[in-house]
Structure 1
């Protein structure tokens, strides 16, 4: 799975006749036959359940050649008419802009406004978009490919986009002071498998018009693919941390053994732990630097990401996890030195299950990439039991788009992971871990620390620890002698005489 992420980052990024179900009947026609114009929290779920009982029909992608084959720059040159912003004249906390179809986003998406329990289509009109190139004029029949949500996130009275829904079932958001980075999506199907990945799409959105003083926005989405349908209800609260409360229901058309709930997608190119094959002047380049997991047993896991030579799949079995996320901890400009992309301002994204999700695993897919153009990191929750055709599955969770995890910890945390060669010993690998956090503020200065380290293959040796006053923490050293092993799974914790005091650092070493 590779997404062209640079274009998505730059982009920021009705009841519609175009959304046609099995038999050629539109949602509009169905709604008129059953419950005209009425809408409630069960409407999209019922649509998804009914749609799953029918054969899959792909949403319309037909476009004039000029729009279908435009470049990214041409797509970006099409301007939305700000006077056509939904709710612009209502002085609400939110307003909505739309994207035209074209470039990578050929699928037509229907959009509805919900007010007082009634849904009405938001129609694409010829005066909504403009371009200096007359061949790129958008007609009323062209329709929308997605939408952006605006809110006064950083300055009172200044509306800025805080979330975007564009492309397949992808969406992204930012917190106050941040730039776009990683994405989320509705569902992951066969990610990282030899069969090839299926990308479900959001076919329609319903936007509930917020009350005059409301600081939250409710958006419903209908998802569809050859393998399943889905219904989503997003409650979005932008702020210092932007929250998405997500209620999702899935209706498989076929048995699904390799499904992914609450998938996160990002980019990792290189950092101090993994730059052997990279010749770049910057210290690091990534949206996220680690997968973090808070297991149902209470263990805090920190797994630095890599840009591997070959595709890597990792699975962390669990029961009732407290949460997981793709995290960006390095927050200084000097960690990246990139004046254009500002990776230090990219959000971390934490997923917190609501209710017990039962047994399953947090999965991590790391895909080789030669540059920072492609999204190459995916993480998601996979239930232990396959999802069966004809049944329904519900998952509720909260997403935190922000600067860190939403919960404090008393444990020492990984500040940096560095990996390099050992001078005069080509058979060894040097690891350097920096720890900071609460223990170094609350424990006596003369506390003695040691490492609890193990590896699945080879040997760990030559461990040492020294104070690191630059971060008010400690620096730990150890060497790995892999021998003939082509893969070593490493596990390390910092400890004192009473036991472990840090989160658990996991790492997959390959040559």
Structure 2
């Protein structure tokens, strides 16, 4: 499955990785030489050794990476880079030494800082030495002027060599800064994850640490994981990561991150997720685009440490906004693509198949916040949504932090709760009652729910609506079935004076027991004026 051709300018500000000399060591035995690949001399490797390297790096001043021949890389623009194709006969592990072949991305204008990639077997690693011969490239491509051993921009894993189409289908890609992504259970790329987020939406500016080295240990069967270790470095932080990546229904990754701070960090984002949201049914701008909806994700889902299920629809705000959801030992959170109806998108890039990405902590993370950053956008080329965990304790220089978590790239939440109906749509229009003059400054909200917990209710005996708003006046509250569907909807009007956001919280209940997850919404009066 090819990487989407749509560019994301939000990512382009961060693309990179850089070379570090590997720790000295010696081979106990020779790693098999893949046909045609030039591998450097071998060195002993372990994740524990990589952790110690990251620790030592954090104790030293940051050494910025130097791209090879910036004069050449700056001319390998988007179109030129798209013509550089890694030749599958040079795919690592395609000789049977692993089940999932790996191929490599070329450097270019947006990927100037190289990563060095090592193949690992039995605790021994050898670097893949860059050669232009690995790539199909036009005869006049300026990329031919790069020196050997310039490094790569990243790598991807292909489907099993037991599949006839493995050469054209990939399922994981690490490319740019500490970004990576995988296909979901519907076979499509979409949102991305990152190793770490540093000062996202902070006035002093965001920092984008780089994965500077990758160590890939192949899977020996389709049931076994591909193990990828990565060395991370940036002005304020260094780190060592281990990913155990499994291909099943979608993709699952067990992540062990070891972070070492060389400077104070105002906003440290753990397990960051990055996505795109332009508009959906609740905020589609008039005549901006012909398609009904455009987004990689449509909401943030949370499962709190106290067991509450929350759903927060995404916004495309007027200014960058940060929302915080305090918690203690969260059970999980994720950016989800819930709307799977093709006719809601009508787009050839298959937004209805984009994966949802769920984070499950594997340790107790203590007190902190899931923070949601929403950045204004006027096109689908921008990744403008970020979500991550922020520890309550300040991130200070000299700290060593360890976070373990599991990433689920799936079609939906891997931990559904059948006892609760879930939100399937949020709609906003003019307030008031039918047949009467529409009051100024009033919005009508319609929140649709689906689930067996709502079976048995009728129009005459509806569930109760529990609603609170941080300010403003709520009126005309009711719950009603949606005709000719299994859905129920909560309907209410809101009059909010002024331009400040209004935080709304709503769920359906019977007696004191919730029947649905809790719907959270940040209403922006200036964007949803009636």
Q: TM-score, normalization: structure 2?
A: 0.88
Instruction: Name the stretch that deviates more: 129-138 or 79-88.
Output: 129-138
Instruction: Name the stretch that deviates more: 209-218 or 487-496.
Output: 209-218
8 A contact 1:97–1:147 mirrored in 2: yes
Q: Distance in 1 between matches of 2:132 and 2:308?
A: 55
Which residue, 457, 479, 491 being the options, matches 2:471?
457
Any idea what SS the aligned residue of 2:153 has? strand
Residues 375-414 of structure 1 aligned to structure 2 (within 5 Å): 375-409=383-417, 410-414=419-423
Q: Distance in 2 between matches of 1:237 and 1:108?
A: 26
Residues 216-227 of structure 1 aligned to structure 2 (within 5 Å): 216-227=225-236
Q: Kindly indicate which of the two structures has a greater share of residues assigned to strand.
A: 1
Which residue, 505, 514, 519 being the options, matches 1:491?
505
Indicate the residue corresponding to 2:493 in structure 1.
479
1:234 aligns with 2:243: yes
Which residue, 338, 341, 345 being the options, matches 1:329?
338
Indicate the residue corresponding to 1:374 in structure 2.
382
Which residue, 172, 186, 190 being the options, matches 1:177?
186
Tell me how far 1:408 sits from its aligned partner: 2.0
Q: CA separation of 1:341/1:305 partners in 2, compared to 1, >3 Å: closer, same or farther?
A: same
Indicate the residue corresponding to 2:321 in structure 1.
312
Q: Distance in 2 between matches of 1:499 and 1:481?
A: 28
Tell me how far 1:226 sits from its aligned partner: 0.5
1:135 aligns with 2:149: no
Moved over 4 A (4+): 441-447
Q: Distance in 1 between matches of 2:431 and 2:185?
A: 43
1:117 aligns with 2:112: no
Residues 88-167 of structure 1 aligned to structure 2 (within 5 Å): 88-90=94-96, 92-132=98-138, 133-137=140-144, 139-152=147-160, 156-159=163-166, 160-167=169-176
Tell me how far 1:225 sits from its aligned partner: 0.2
1:504 aligns with 2:510: no
8 A contact 1:48–1:223 mirrored in 2: yes
What is the CA RMSD across the aligned residues, in angstroms?
2.4
1:347 aligns with 2:355: yes
Q: Distance in 1 between matches of 2:112 and 2:282?
A: 39
Residues 193-204 of structure 1 aligned to structure 2 (within 5 Å): 193-204=202-213
Indicate the residue corresponding to 1:65 in structure 2.
71
Tell me how far 1:183 sits from its aligned partner: 0.4
Which residue, 54, 70, 81 being the options, matches 1:75?
81
Deviations 1:321-348 (A, max 9, x none): 000000100011111111x221101000
Deviations 1:431-477 (A, max 9, x none): 01111012134778975312111100101110122212544121221
Indicate the residue corresponding to 1:265 in structure 2.
274
8 A contact 2:99–2:221 mirrored in 1: yes
Tell me how far 1:32 sits from its aligned partner: 6.2
8 A contact 1:257–1:385 mirrored in 2: no
Indicate the residue corresponding to 2:300 in structure 1.
291
Deviations 1:472-507 (A, max 9, x none): 121221110102352211010111234321111011
Deviations 1:287-337 (A, max 9, x none): 100011000011111000000011111000100000000010001111111
| Alignment length (residue pairs) | 492
Q: TM-score, normalization: structure 1?
A: 0.91
1:433 aligns with 2:428: no
Q: Distance in 1 between matches of 2:286 and 2:376?
A: 11
Tell me how far 1:136 sits from its aligned partner: 2.8
**Consecutive unaligned residues in structure 2, runs of 5 or more:** 12-17, 28-41, 433-437
Tell me how far 1:391 sits from its aligned partner: 2.3
Indicate the residue corresponding to 2:22 in structure 1.
27
Instruction: Name the stretch that deviates more: 329-338 or 481-490.
Output: 481-490
Any idea what SS the aligned residue of 2:297 has? coil
**Consecutive unaligned residues in structure 1, runs of 5 or more:** 12-17, 21-25
8 A contact 1:458–1:481 mirrored in 2: yes
